[in-house]
């Protein structure tokens, strides 16, 4: 009965039109515990407001360009963490895998003289192989993912040191296309504005086609006016962002690449059978198994995706630094990637979260880091503030989960 009531409630919410209806939709979903990205957006507004008051340079175009470029590498790693968390598992080794991938890239590209595309391919394939091994240990032997990836964290850190050898660090050529992509490549203005328009049109077209499919099946759907308002709001926001960042260097290709990966992952999770299977496994493993879903195959796919994206993030981090060294992937990379996924709204309990959580979460973390650096505060303060934000995100997730349960929406 609760499921039927929930479906009818969703239909009523989707049938409302106009701005007032959209706001009412958001409020009623929030009351039911379906907060979505509301907490992280509100948190980001608060963080930006406080940091701007403390230092007017924070929201300058130059600083925001730097912020977006610094967010990309770890953000891509966080995108992989989102996939693993959606099925209720964890990967603690993404930092070590990213560092090892950067080391493999440097050795093959610089020391062995292989073409850069071949070195990149080898590093990503290695990352995928690591995820496959994790999945086999988890599926065949039942070893908890926490233990498997903790062992990977230590083992691949040691392998990274071994690969780098006595050199300890390998510099990447500044004139290589990879380093240029990570440091100096920015979209021309006309292309940035064109992509903003394309994104808004795509949002409307995909929403309209999805709504038409639902109406043809006799199901409720969002009204055309609501879709137009949503797309118009996105268009205005993107045009402003492109204009503002264009006051200095503009939008970096590396950040565009990160956003493109987020959009691809969002499509896979929201519009494909695989994505529905991921959410089903994260929501209830036994129910998913009885529904005919190949649970082991789903686990394998998310572990492979997570390690592959960690490898891509490590490659871009090395390119951004123009070097791979013994500290690559170390420090707070691992923790920031996991924290970004959780802060972005991905539930630690599995079954809830979106690809956009990685984007929003890493922007929150990078904003804290950038803002406190501008204030000349010690890194210890940054760790404490990030930890407090992470704890608050988990508390919000736990409270909203209880609320969803009480409203029959868990």
- Quote the mean pLDDT of the chain: 87
Mean pLDDT of 120-134: 97
User: Helix or strand or coil: residue 12?
Assistant: helix
Q: What local confidence, expressed as pLDDT, does residue 230 receive? A: 86
Instruction: Give the separation between CA 142 and CA 45, rounded to whole angstroms.
Output: 42
Query: Which of 96, 144, 1, 57 shows the shortest CA–CA distance to 372?
Result: 57
Mean pLDDT of 295-308: 97
Asked whether residue 150 carries a pLDDT value surpassing 70, the answer given is yes
Query: Which of 372, 397, 396, 376 shows the shortest CA–CA distance to 386?
Result: 372
| pLDDT tens, position by position, 330-389 | 878 888 899 899 888 888 888 888 999 899 999 999 998 888 888 887 777 878 887 888
| pLDDT tens, position by position, 198-237 | 999 998 998 888 888 888 888 777 788 888 888 999 899 9
Give the contacts of 82 (CB within 8 A, at least 6 positions apart).
Answer: 265, 341, 344, 346, 353, 354, 355, 357, 358
| Structure tokens given for 96 | 């070590």
Instruction: Give the separation between CA 229 and CA 232, rounded to whole angstroms.
Output: 5
pLDDT greater at residue 278 or residue 343: 278
Q: How many CB atoms lie within 10 A of CB 362?
A: 30
Mean pLDDT of 52-66: 93
As a whole-number percent, the residues of the chain with pLDDT over 90 amount to 60
Query: Which of 176, 165, 148 shows the shortest CA–CA distance to 103?
Result: 165
Mean pLDDT of 139-162: 95
User: Helix or strand or coil: residue 184?
Assistant: coil
Instruction: Give the separation between CA 96 and CA 314, rounded to whole angstroms.
Output: 9
Asked whether residue 281 carries a pLDDT value surpassing 50, the answer given is yes
Q: What local confidence, expressed as pLDDT, does residue 5 receive? A: 43
Q: What local confidence, expressed as pLDDT, does residue 15 receive? A: 47
pLDDT greater at residue 167 or residue 21: 167
Report the relative pairing of strands 169-171 and 323-325 from DSSP bridges: antiparallel
Of 34-43, 154-163, 300-309, 310-319, least confident by mean pLDDT is 34-43
Asked whether residue 408 carries a pLDDT value surpassing 60, the answer given is no
Asked whether residue 163 carries a pLDDT value surpassing 90, the answer given is yes
Taking the mean position of all CA atoms in its chain, how far away is CA 334? 14
Instruction: Give the separation between CA 208 and CA 139, rounded to whole angstroms.
Output: 40
Asked whether residue 256 carries a pLDDT value surpassing 90, the answer given is yes
pLDDT greater at residue 253 or residue 406: 253
| Structure tokens given for 171 | 């510099």
Mean pLDDT of 239-257: 94
Asked whether residue 10 carries a pLDDT value surpassing 80, the answer given is no
Supply φ then ψ for residue 171, to 5 degrees.
-85, 140
Of 136-140, 212-216, 284-288, 398-402, least confident by mean pLDDT is 398-402
């Amino acid at each position: 009965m609760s499921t039927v009531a929930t479906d009818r409630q969703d239909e009523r919410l989707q049938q409302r039109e106009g701005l007032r209806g959209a706001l009412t939709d958001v409020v009623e979903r929030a009351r039911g515990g379906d907060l979505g990205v509301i907490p992280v957006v509100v948190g980001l507004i608060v963080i930006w407001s406080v940091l701007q008051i403390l230092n007017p340079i924070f929201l300058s175009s130059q600083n925001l360009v730097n912020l977006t470029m610094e967010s990309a590498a770890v953000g891509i790693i966080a995108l992989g963490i989102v996939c693993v968390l959606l099925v209720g598992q964890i990967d603690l080794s993404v930092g070590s895998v990213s560092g090892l991938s950067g080391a493999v890239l440097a050795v093959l590209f610089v020391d062995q003289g292989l073409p850069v595309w071949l070195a990149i391919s080898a590093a990503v394939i290695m990352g995928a192989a690591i995820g496959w091994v994790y999945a086999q240990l988890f599926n065949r032997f039942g070893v908890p993912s926490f233990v498997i990836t903790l062992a990977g964290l230590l083992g691949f850190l040691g392998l990274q040191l071994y690969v780098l050898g006595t050199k300890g660090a390998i510099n990447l050529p500044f004139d290589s296309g990879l380093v240029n992509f990570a440091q100096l490549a920015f979209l021309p203005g006309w292309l940035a504005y064109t992509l903003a328009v394309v994104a808004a049109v795509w949002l409307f077209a995909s929403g309209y086609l999805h709504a038409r499919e639902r109406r043809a099946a006799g199901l409720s759907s969002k009204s055309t006016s609501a879709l137009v308002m949503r797309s118009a709001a996105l268009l205005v926001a993107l045009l402003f962002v492109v204009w503002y960042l264009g006051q200095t260097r503009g939008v970096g290709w590396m950040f565009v690449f990160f956003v493109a990966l987020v959009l691809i992952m969002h499509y896979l999770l929201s519009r494909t059978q695989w994505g529905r299977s991921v959410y089903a496994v994260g929501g209830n493993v036994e129910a998913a198994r009885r529904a005919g879903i190949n649970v082991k195959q789903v686990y394998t796919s998310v572990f492979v995706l997570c390690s592959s994206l960690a490898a891509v993030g490590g490659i871009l981090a090395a390119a951004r630094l123009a070097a791979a060294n013994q500290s690559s992937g170390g420090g707070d990379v691992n923790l920031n990637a996991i924290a970004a996924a959780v802060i972005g709204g991905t539930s630690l309990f599995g079954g809830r979260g979106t690809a956009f959580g990685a984007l929003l979460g890493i922007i929150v973390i990078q904003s804290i880091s950038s803002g406190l650096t501008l204030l000349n505060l010690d890194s210890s303060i940054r760790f404490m503030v990030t930890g407090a934000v992470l704890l608050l995100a988990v508390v919000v997730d736990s409270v909203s989960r209880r609320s969803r349960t009480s409203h029959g929406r868990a």
